[in-house]
Structure 1
C-alpha cells in the first residue's frame, strides 16, 4: 500500500485532505504538533511531532512516497505578529521537510503556499503564474515573506538527488486563495465573533473590488491532482511548477460574507470607509500590539495584510491548473457553511 504524510494534518485542511486520500485506499499519516479536533477515522495514523525538529520529521517519513507540506504559522490575526515563530515554522520547518524527504527517499513533495507570494496590496486582475514573486521587502507581513522564501526553497529542491540512490525528488507548489467550508476554524469563527459582538459596523474599499476564495473540497481535489501530476504516469508535468488555486469565481469580499451576516440575523452595514483609513487604523493597532503584546496578547481587529487581502482586487486565472493538473473547481457557496 502507498503511504503519504501530511504535515499540519491536525488542522482543518490537512485533516480533510487526509480523510479524502485515505478513502482512495492510501495509507495516511497526519503529522502535527496538535491533535485534530475531530475524531480520527479508523486506519488513519496520527503522529505528534514538530517540523522544527528534523529528527522527528525523518522518523515519521519511513516508507512514505509523498509528502503534503501544509503546516505553517502566522496566517492571520495576532499570530501574524510573532515573527520568530513564523520564521522557525515556515522557513526552517520547510528546510527540514525538504531535507527529510531527500534523506528518506521520498519521491514527491506538494507544498501548500499562498496567493500572497505575488500579492502585496497591488491590484492584480486575472494574474497568472508568470507573475514574479513580490520583492521580499515589500511584504506588509512576515508570514507572506516566509511563505515566499519557503516556496522558492521547495521549487529549487525539484530534481534533487534522493539519498538512497532511488532517483530524484519532484516538487510543486499550490497557491490557494482564502479557504472556506463547513467547520472551518480559523477565519469564520473570528468573523462570526465580530458580527455577534456588534463590531461589524462598516465595510471598506471599492464596492467593485474583487477577491477569491477556495472551498476546502476544491483545494483537496487540487492537492490530489498535483501529487498525481508529479508522477511518471503524468510525465512529471507539475515538477518544479506553481499553481494558483481558487473556486475561479472572483467576488467582492464583503458580498461573499453577506449570507453569513444575514443568516445570523444581523443587518448588513451600509457605512463604507476609505481603504487608506482602515489601513492606517490597522497600522496603529500593530504598533500598539508591538508595544504591549508581550503583556497583553490581544487579537487585532485587522492587520495591514488583512486589509489588503479583503479590500484590494486580486484574482488569478485557473488556466494552468486546469490544463496541467485537470483541476475542475466545483461550485459551492457560503450558504451551506451558514447552515
Structure 2
C-alpha cells in the first residue's frame, strides 16, 4: 500500500518561482498541492485558494489541513514598486508574520521560507561567503531590509512544535521570469544594454529557477522538528559563478540583441545615480513620481562580486543543481523567443550565445 500523500501549501504559488515549486512538488507524486495567492496559479493538478497574504484570516484559512507550508510570496523591487515601502512591508514582513502565526495556530510542523542571498549584501564584494556571515547592518534597499526581517521572523519561530528553514537563492532566472529577462530586453530596445559599468570582471552566482524549486522540494521532504535542517538558513545557487556582464551578454545575444561592450567608469555612473536618486527625484516628486531601474542599489549590485558557498545546502539537503547554467540559459532563451529582436540579422538569430 502506497504511503498517504502529504499536503503542501505553496504561498505565492502563482508567481515565477512559485509555479516551478508547485509543478515539482506535484511531479514527485508524494504531495497534494494547494496554492494560496491573489491570482490563479494555472498549474494543472493543484488546488487553488485565492486570497490576500496581508489578511490573517485568509492565510489561516488557506493553511488548514496542510502538512508543510512553502512560503515564496514576496513583493519584488521592480521599477514600478521599488518605492512602495508600504507594499513591501505589508507582504514581506507582515504577510510572513501571518504565515508564521497560521502555522502556530494550526499545529503545522514544517515551514520552508524563500529568503534572498541579498540579506548579507552591504554593497561590498562577496566571494565564497557562507551562512556564518551576519545579516547586513545597512541593507542596500528597502526590499532587502524586509527580506532580512522576514527571514528573522521565520527562523525565530523554529521551535519544538514548528520546524522552519530559510532558503537564500541568488539571481533567479528561467522560464516564466517576470523581471530579469523582460528588463534586459526592455533596456536593450532602449539602447541601454550596450554598456558595461566598471571593468566587467565581477562574478555573480545566477541560479536557474528549476534548481531553486528543486531545493525547496528537498527542504519540504527533509524538514522535520529537531532535524539538522530546522532553524537553518541556506544559500542556493547553481555553483557556477560567472561574470555578470558575460551572463547578461549570453542572454541578450541569444535573443538577437548586442552584448554589452562599451565600458563606463563606475565612479562616474555611481555619482550620476546618486544625483538622480537623492536630488533630482525628490525635487520632482511633488510634480511627478519617477519609477526607474537606475538606482544606487542597482549600480552597486551589478558591479560587485556576489558568489556564495552552497556547502551547507549540499550537506543538509543533498542539494546538487540538476540543470547546469548554460543549459538553463538556453532553456530561458527558448522560452522568451517572443521577445527576440525582430531586426537581428539571420546569423545572429541562429547563433549560439558564447
Q: Normalised by the size of structure 1, how large is the TM-score?
A: 0.90
Name stretches of at least 5 consecutive residues in structure 2 with no aligned partner.
Answer: 335-354
- How far is 1:8 from its partner? 1.1
1: CA distance, partners of 2:283 / 2:28: 50
Q: What aligned pairs does 1:120-131 form with structure 2 within 5 A after superposition?
A: 120-131=122-133
Equivalent in 78, 81, 103 of residue 80 of structure 2? 78
- How far is 1:336 from its partner? 2.5
* C-alpha spacing 1:87/1:195, structure 2 compared with 1 (3 Å): same
- How far is 1:290 from its partner? 4.7
Match for residue 250 of structure 2? 259
Q: What aligned pairs does 1:180-329 form with structure 2 within 5 A after superposition?
A: 180-231=173-224, 236-287=227-278, 288-290=280-282, 292=284, 296-329=288-321
Match for residue 163 of structure 1? none
Cα deviation, 1:226-265, whole Å, max 9, x if unaligned, reads: 1222126xx6121000000000011111100212222233
Match for residue 13 of structure 1? 17
1: CA distance, partners of 2:19 / 2:252: 27
Residue 36 of structure 2 aligns to a residue whose secondary structure is strand
2: CA distance, partners of 1:81 / 1:47: 29
Residue 272 of structure 2 aligns to a residue whose secondary structure is helix
Q: What aligned pairs does 1:100-111 form with structure 2 within 5 A after superposition?
A: 100-111=102-113
**Contact preservation (8 Å) 2:249, 2:260:** no
**Contact preservation (8 Å) 1:285, 1:300:** no
- How far is 1:296 from its partner? 4.5
1: CA distance, partners of 2:26 / 2:286: 42
* C-alpha spacing 1:23/1:279, structure 2 compared with 1 (3 Å): same
Shifted more, 76-85 versus 283-292: the winner is 283-292
Match for residue 23 of structure 1? 27
Shifted more, 280-289 versus 110-119: the winner is 280-289
Shifted more, 282-291 versus 122-131: the winner is 282-291
2: CA distance, partners of 1:119 / 1:322: 22
2: CA distance, partners of 1:335 / 1:23: 23
Q: What aligned pairs does 1:33-52 form with structure 2 within 5 A after superposition?
A: 33-36=38-41, 39-41=42-44, 43-52=45-54
1: CA distance, partners of 2:19 / 2:288: 32
Q: CA RMSD in A?
A: 1.8
**Contact preservation (8 Å) 1:77, 1:303:** no
**Contact preservation (8 Å) 1:53, 1:96:** yes
**Contact preservation (8 Å) 2:245, 2:260:** no
Across the two proteins, how many residue pairs are aligned to each other? Answer: 325
Match for residue 147 of structure 2? 147
2: CA distance, partners of 1:177 / 1:14: 16
Equivalent in 169, 178, 197 of residue 171 of structure 2? 178
- How far is 1:198 from its partner? 1.7
2: CA distance, partners of 1:227 / 1:78: 33
* C-alpha spacing 1:50/1:292, structure 2 compared with 1 (3 Å): farther
Match for residue 66 of structure 2? 64
2: CA distance, partners of 1:124 / 1:296: 37
1: CA distance, partners of 2:22 / 2:83: 29
